[in-house]
Structure 1
Amino acid sequence: MEQSSFGLYLKHMREQKKWSINQLADAAGISTSQISRIENGKRGVPKPQTIEKMAGALGISYAEMMDHAGYLRPEEHPPIPEWASSRDKRDFKKMLEEDGELMFDGVPLDEEDRQRIKDVLTGLFWEAKHMNKRKPVTPAPKERRGS
């Protein structure tokens, strides 16, 4: 499998510090196999929490590493609708941050395809939430009492 640009970036930053994969894994508190898979392109871009650990261990700014990972900057995210409740926002955040590998026919999707899917899911998520909020609440049928 082809190395991702983030994988190459991570490897470059690790080697610049003259660290082995084991040293980065120990410092960041993540597995050596996960770092190896990222660097070799066998795993997609990790979730933000993992990037934060690696950035801290390598002494790199979190924002810089997130930028190399291709995550949208906060100002680039589609706006959260005004009607969204705190629960809606929590659900949305959970949906985007789950660390499942997106695959098609058993092949992991590249970052560009993953971002397209996230963009579509974002639109569908807010549309579904909005439609759900507009549905009128149907009162329960009243019981009939005999006269």
Structure 2
Amino acid sequence: MDNVEFGNYLRNKREERKLSVRQLNTYSGVSHSYISQVERGNRGVPSPDILKKLSKPLGVDYEELMVKAGHIDVYSKENAENKEKRDEIIEAKLKIAEEIIKLPEDKRKIIEDLLKTFKKD
């Protein structure tokens, strides 16, 4: 997203909240002249620190602003979420395996046979 596109996005979010530039300045602590310049595309996309200040008054998730501004690649965020889910699954499997190992041999054999039945399907 280039400067003009981001500026339009920011203006739309501000207007959706029915905020003037001065009100957004008051709620965020970001100067009204800076906000105005960004909205017109006369400034580069704001830094992560500025976006953090704008996120709450605009009612927009900070991560969404970071993605729109190009500070976060949406695909890397999705990959991180997928990795987290995979890690959770692996951890759960390890806990199950640890419990199975504690079982007596005859009980482990029953579980092993049962798992083999599922693998056939």
Give the TM-score range, shorter chain. 0.5 to 0.7
- Provide, for residues 16-67 of structure 1, a one-character-per-residue CA deviation record: whole Å limited to 9, x for no partner: 1111000001100010000000000110001000001101221210011111
Give me the whole-angstrom Cα distance separating, in 1, the residues matched to 2:3 and 2:48.
20
Higher helix residue share? 2
Give me the whole-angstrom Cα distance separating, in 1, the residues matched to 2:65 and 2:11.
12
Q: Output aligned runs, 1:75-90, within 5 Å.
A: 76=76
Structure 1 runs, 4 residues or longer, greater than 6 Å off: none
CA separation of 1:74 and 1:7: change in aligned 2, threshold 3 A:
closer
RMSD: 2.2
Give the C-alpha shift of residue 74 in structure 1: 8.5
Give the C-alpha shift of residue 3 in structure 1: 5.9
The answer to whether the 8 A contact 2:38-2:45 is kept is: yes
Give me the whole-angstrom Cα distance separating, in 1, the residues matched to 2:10 and 2:75.
25
1:58 aligns with 2:53: no
Which residue type is aligned with residue 41 of structure 1? G
Give the C-alpha shift of residue 70 in structure 1: 1.4
Per the alignment, residue 40 of structure 1 pairs with 40
Give the C-alpha shift of residue 71 in structure 1: 1.5
Return the TM-score normalized by structure 1.
0.47
Return the TM-score normalized by structure 2.
0.57
CA separation of 1:48 and 1:3: change in aligned 2, threshold 3 A:
closer
Give me the whole-angstrom Cα distance separating, in 1, the residues matched to 2:49 and 2:3.
22
The answer to whether the 8 A contact 2:27-2:57 is kept is: yes
Per the alignment, residue 92 of structure 2 pairs with none
Per the alignment, residue 95 of structure 1 pairs with none
1:29 aligns with 2:29: yes
Per the alignment, residue 70 of structure 1 pairs with 70
Per the alignment, residue 4 of structure 2 pairs with 4
Give the C-alpha shift of residue 69 in structure 1: 0.8
Per the alignment, residue 49 of structure 2 pairs with 49
The answer to whether the 8 A contact 2:3-2:45 is kept is: no
Per the alignment, residue 20 of structure 2 pairs with 20
